Structure 1
């Protein structure tokens, strides 16, 4: 998978070029995130758990866990009354329950940090974080500072934004 494209595009005559603001080309890319689980179902996770992508990237969530249904759900008040943990101008998503081998796609265009979870397995820390663009993007919104609507275990399971930006992808530590 490619890292964030950091090329600067000069927009002749535009305000962005006049101000010297870097922009990232909108690449229509698809990236897969798998919903996984151990054979007996004692552990479940998203793989990868953290990911850096360019604006305009389509994420495809696929349930590869033969024993469980999963969701990919953005933290947002429109979805189950949750506190917003995605950029303010981004559209929230909910895949609904995906049976084994079913998929759901969402395209993220707004730069910033997106936290998501599996509705029935959030308390088992089945969560993930997507970083769209970089802090250099105009309007980039960092991670939520909210600590009231998320448990300490779930919060600790979210990969650090700096680690995602440095590595491009954060894989879940090996599972049995």
Structure 2
């Protein structure tokens, strides 16, 4: 039992050491979160701070979860100046998180952060012949440029590592059946290539 406790403590420390804090600024001058889209690793912290040089926000804002992955903890933080200067959130589930400032949502004060699990997420492979996906994000089909008229086998995985599709591609893949989110398409072969894309 003691060994299990020591192992858990070590893993907890190791995850904490590797985590990063990412900042989103709250700009009430134009009702914006800057940046309004960000990608972070599972275990990282996201924090909201006033935009530098603008002082504390002059009006009430909220940082309210709108659409989040199943199993994720929701958040609804009311930010009132001058006492409140930051809000932090540590996501525990990979996926896409959409949030809003409730009083200013009609002004498009909205944001999104994507949480990827680094144990299953692989960056786009560096190759001599780059493959391009378009449109990205896509609604129904993705087209791949750079396959040199060769058909290739592929698999598509969610950010949690679940295989959601596979087949053979010549230059386009039908993704209309996929739910909205971020995916990785892996082109199989002698030199596998992995490319991230978004489905609307």
TM value normalised by structure 2: 0.48
More strand as a share of residues: 2
Q: Distance in 2 between matches of 1:144 and 1:45?
A: 27
Q: CA deviation at 1:139?
A: 6.2
Q: Does 1:37 align with 2:28?
A: yes
Alignment match, 1:50: 37
Q: Which runs of no fewer than 5 residues in structure 2 stay unpaired? A: 1-13, 122-157, 164-177, 184-195
Confirm or deny that 1:123 pairs with 2:114.
no
Q: CA deviation at 1:136?
A: 3.7
User: What is the DSSP-based 3-state SS (H/G/I as helix, E as strand, rest coil) of the residue aligned with 1:89?
Assistant: coil
CA contact (8 A) 1:68 1:99 kept: yes
Aligned-residue offset at 1:53:
0.4
Using the alignment, how far apart are the partners of 2:73 and 2:107 within structure 1? 25
Distance 2:59 2:179 in 1: 29
Question: Where do 5+ consecutive residues of structure 1 fail to align?
Answer: 1-24, 76-84, 146-159, 167-176
Matched, 1:109 2:92: yes
Which of 58, 61, 75 is equivalent to 1:67? Answer: 58
**Residue 138 of structure 1 pairs with residue 161 of structure 2:** yes
Larger RCO, structure (CA 8 Å, separation 6 or more): 1
CA contact (8 A) 1:87 1:112 kept: yes
Q: How many residues align?
A: 111
* RMSD (Å), alpha carbons: 3.0
- Do structure 1's residue 95 and structure 2's residue 118 form an aligned pair? no
In structure 1, C-alpha distance between the alignment counterparts of 2:63 and 2:115, rounded to whole Å: 17
Judge conservation of contact 1:52–1:130 (CA < 8 Å) in 2: yes
Structure 1 residue 47 displacement after superposition: 0.4
Name which of structure 1's ranges 89-98 and 110-119 shifts more when overlaid on structure 2.
89-98
